[in-house]
Amino acid sequence: MSVFIPEGELWESKVVGQIFATKNQIECLQKAEAALARAEAKLGIIPQEVSDEINEKATIENIDLDEYARQMEITGGHPVVAMLRAWKPFLSAEASELVHWGATTQDIMDTGDVMKLSAVYDIIYDELLQLKAILRKLASEYIDTPLAGRTHEQHAVPTTFGVKVAVWLMEVQRHLKRMEQCRPRLRTVCFYGAAGNLASFGKGGLNVTRQMARELDMNFAPVAWHTSRDSFIEFMTILTNISTTFGKVANEIIELSRTEIGELEEPWMPGNVGSSTMPQKRNPPGCEAMYSLAVLTQFEVGAMYQASMHENERDSRAWNLEKFVFPFTCSMTEKNLHYAIVILGKLVVKPEHMRRNLDLTNGLIMCENLMMKLGARIGRMTAHEKIYQMAMEAYQKDLHLKDLITADKDIMSMFTTEEIEEYFNPITYTGDAREMVELALEATR
């Protein structure tokens, strides 16, 4: 409830919005052109003084934004030509003729997209590190806190809240690894010319590509990737995977904050209001937003696969889809992580409710423990059938299972009353929960 969502900003991330804003997009195109000029000057293709001028004037202040907008309309929405025309008045005649030398639009656009997505990468990676630290703290603090493990929405066997959090923690750790592995593939320069063979240079065009990659601290690919969008798909898929993790976490918090369960609660502050008509309401709007954002990213990523199916050496029918997928997916993922940091950082955990709920089923949550102990004496399948019959009777008649067990002479001939009492203690039946959490903490240190 302490997560305020301004009207119209459910999915909009302001920090990501700035990356995809028109001004920054133009600047990224200018940076790509400036790096190309530096590379070509070092290779003796254009004069050094021309490269110096292009680089000195590769700033948004040297773009007439009104003229850029006018040129976008004139050219039918061609961002590189519009940028070059709006930049031209600020360049000398020679520089305006040699800028963009040997390039094609997609070279500059794709390299600019790599810059923007790299900036998003840094934001997402940093937020994942913050969330890793938050989850490590939660897992450590509640390493031995027992709660009901649930399968199919029903009580299963006891576990610990520490294990539940450790599961989330390890997903974050794997996401960080995926991010690290995809980074070199994402940060690859694009410069291959009109149809991907750099024919505009005759021979030696790949030397320009190599040098441009060095100038931008990007990687070099030996052949054009104008129609190979797998690295972009990979990054968008990783973002969707990350968002899905926190959609799942949010859903779990929503479920465990239900009035009938009450084990977790989204952070709340005095003055938070859940309803205009029901004063008692303490809703989880932040978690609900996280869940919605995860679903939306899942819809978006499918378009990336469609966007990969180019025809021939370039196909804007597919390429244009990225213009919509990139900002939306990046924005929604960042927003999801933003909410997660706020909510998990101040998550309300109620161990007393967790312990209370372990007793809700009149001992039925300990059936597996009883079956295994009895199975060691009479065989597992025989024990399963016997405990099953008693569990169903306890369930149907609303009896405590322990009363039926202690009244059974056959069972009590094999166990003491003290042993039965211990077998019904959920705190003693959490298996390797502590070790699992310790291993997760070690793995994420």
Catalytic machinery residues:
152, 275
Q: Are 361 and 398 in contact (CB under 8 A)?
A: no
Tokens (6 digits) for 301 = 């990523």
12-49 burial code (b ≥16 CB/10 A, e <16): ebeebeebbeeebbbbbbbbbbbbbbbbbbbbebbeee
DSSP count for the chain of H helices, then E strands:
19, 4
Residue 98's nearest CA partner among 27, 37, 26 is 37
Residue 250 CA to residue 161 CA, distance in Å, equals 15
DSSP code string of 110-167: HHHHHHHHHHHHHHHHHHHHHHHHHHHHHHHHTTT-EEEEEETTEEEEEEEHHHHHHH
- Which pairing describes strands 264-265 and 348-349: parallel, antiparallel, or unpaired? antiparallel
Cα 401 versus chain centre, distance? 44
Residue 130's nearest CA partner among 323, 405, 341 is 341
Residue 86 CA to residue 62 CA, distance in Å, equals 8
Residue 324 main-chain phi, psi, to 5 deg: -95, -40
- Residue 348, sorted as left (phi over 0), alpha (psi -120 to 50) or beta, turns out to be beta
DSSP strand E in 277-419: where? 348-349
Tokens (6 digits) for 299 = 């819809």
Q: Long-range contacts: 313-316, Cβ < 8 Å, 24+?
A: 313/195, 313/196, 313/224, 313/226, 313/227, 314/106, 314/195, 314/196, 314/226, 314/227, 315/227
